[in-house]
Amino acid sequence: MVEATPAEGYASCCEAIEKMDIASNLANINTPTVVIASANDPATPPQHARRIAANVLGARLKIVSPAAHLASAEGPHKVNPVILSHLRASVSVPCSRD
């Protein structure tokens, strides 16, 4: 799929992501959140995930190692339990800013 992606389309996507600013809206997230990062991700390094988790109320951070950019593909046996645990906990524990 990646190989079949036109170079111009991929470059345009990269340009859009480069200009994205999600940081200013992180404090508005009010649902239970788990941030999953890869320890060896050169595109989105762990410090980016730490910043996201620190700015989302009550967020948990999980850094998967060893893994690079696609932790869910490289280490599903590590990522899937984190997601399942988060979903199970989110059903019974609402997040509140009060």
Give the pLDDT confidence of 56-79 residue by residue, as tens digits: 999 999 999 999 999 999 999 999
CB 34 within 8 A of CB 92: no
For position 68, what pLDDT does the model report? 93
| Average pLDDT, integer, range 2-15 | 90
- What is the DSSP pairing of strand 60-64 with strand 34-38? parallel
95 against 18, higher pLDDT = 18
94 against 59, higher pLDDT = 59
- pLDDT tens column, 17-45: 888 888 899 999 999 999 999 999 998 89
For position 85, what pLDDT does the model report? 94
Q: How many Å apart are CA 40 and CA 26, to the nearest integer?
A: 24
Whole-model pTM: value is: 0.77
Measured distance between the N- and C-terminal CA atoms of the chain, rounded to whole angstroms: 45
Q: How many Å apart are CA 61 and CA 24, to the nearest integer?
A: 19
For position 43, what pLDDT does the model report? 87
